[in-house]
Structure 1
């Protein structure tokens, strides 16, 4: 249920970001992902606190980070209590990852064909 609520909001492209639901990545399937910002969003129910789930989640986070993703884990209880706050948290995480591509330092390589870089003032 929390995933359905989040998806209803993410489909509206909050913050101008495009999100994917149930996005496959190698052997994993992410609850949600913003590929532009490389943010993986996981909605965690209480099951994630039991058994071997905490260790599995840590391995999953390490793997995703090795692939350049920031992992945002939101408790399902938070989503159900404050959907607006959850969406704001997601958008803030995406904003925090921009820009992924920085302008080269002075004396760095020239822009590729078709790229236009703004002059520093």
Structure 2
């Protein structure tokens, strides 16, 4: 496939998924993906490629002007991995504001400390899987 066709295809695909995302948010998300924290990298390795209950996660995703750590867009689920800085009152207030905005757009936000990622990764994975299972409707029972 010619190089120009590949670039055009990538552009069209990006427009399909995020048509309303300003370029500065895409640029910021790319930068954050390059500067990921150790805890985010560990968590990402565990959930990428549909390893968590077949869920498709993306990292450093811009959603309505907010770049989130990880998101499963199909289930409108956001996962934030918080370092120690998030314990400061002003940062906590900013996080609560972000969470409220995401909730208004229909997203569930789950926050975990980076310490929890280092110490109990599989427990976090189980918590997320249980939350998704609770909110996912069961398939209809076929009639006899």
Q: TM-score, normalised by structure 1?
A: 0.78
Please state which structure has a larger fraction of its residues in helix. Answer: 2
| Cα distance in structure 1, aligned partners of 2:128 and 2:56 | 12
Query: Shift of residue 39 of structure 1?
Result: 0.7
**Residue 24 of structure 1: aligned partner:** 62
| Cα distance in structure 1, aligned partners of 2:78 and 2:67 | 10
**What is the DSSP-based 3-state SS (H/G/I as helix, E as strand, rest coil) of the residue aligned with 2:74?**
coil
Counterpart selection for 1:36 from 67, 74, 80: 74
The number of aligned residues is: 106
| Cα distance in structure 2, aligned partners of 1:74 and 1:96 | 19
Query: Shift of residue 32 of structure 1?
Result: 0.5
**Residue 60 of structure 1: aligned partner:** 98
Mapping for residues 1-121 of structure 1, pairs under 5 Å:
1-13=38-50, 14-99=52-137
What is the RMSD of the two structures over their aligned residues, measured on CA atoms? 2.0
Specify every segment of 5 or more residues in structure 2 that has no aligned partner in the other structure, as ranges.
Answer: 1-37
Structure 1 runs (4+) greater than 2 angstroms displaced: 117-121
Query: Shift of residue 96 of structure 1?
Result: 2.3
Deviations 1:26-81 (A, max 9, x none): 22111001111111000011100114111101111100000001110011111100
Q: TM-score, normalised by structure 2?
A: 0.67
Specify every segment of 5 or more residues in structure 1 that has no aligned partner in the other structure, as ranges.
Answer: 104-116
| Cα distance in structure 1, aligned partners of 2:116 and 2:128 | 12
